[in-house]
Amino acid sequence: MNIVIPHIPTWVIKHPFWIFLILILPICACISITMAPRRMDDDGSSSYASVKNGVLYQSEDLTILEIDPEELVRMTQKAEGIIYIWAPWCAPCIGTLKHHFVKEFETDGMLLLVSTNYDIPNIVKLLGGQIDTAYVLSASAFGRNETDKLKGISQLLIGNELNYVPQTYLFDNQVISLRERKK
């Protein structure tokens, strides 16, 4: 019985760094994929089951309130402004909030930042010092699944089900319209 020993190319022997790259890079890629933020099936609302008066977090700089969809619609009937539906796991949302906040949300009216997720520590980290009040969409309206929340709130605001974030809506008293996503 002959044993076949595979031929090892000379470039591998001369340059072991390539072996390192070939073996290690796929492992690193898998790790980064598993660590990347993703949409959660559960919005984390169970941690805030005993919220009083809708206040989820309060400091000198920032107050985070739980808001139901009907209250959100009522707020749009009082003035004009922007509703920004976002999530703390959403990279484009985080980029907008960190780097383009003033430019993206330049408005003379109200600015309603509404998270679909109860990740309060990340909301505080992202919004602290930029805005006085932020909101988390109540789990009692559309359930704890974020996709259901996104579809439900878009259906309520504009009559179409959208299941992505960010969603930016412009409102002027009783007229609400979706601002198209930038390509």
pLDDT in tens, 35-72: 444 555 566 776 776 667 789 999 999 999 999 988 99
Per-residue confidence at 17, pLDDT binned at 50, 70, 90? low
Strand partners, 182: none
Q: How far apart are CA 49 and CA 140, in angstroms?
A: 10
- Does domain 45-179 fall under CATH 3.40.30? My reply is yes
Structure token pair of residue 174: 């009783």
In the prediction, which pLDDT does 36 show?
Answer: 41
In the prediction, which pLDDT does 33 show?
Answer: 44
Answer yes or no: is pLDDT of 10 > 50.
Answer: yes
**More confident: 72 or 175:** 72
Q: How far apart are CA 23 and CA 34, in angstroms?
A: 18
**123, 44 Cβ separation under 8 angstroms:** no
Structure token pair of residue 168: 């930016």
Answer yes or no: is pLDDT of 172 > 80.
Answer: yes
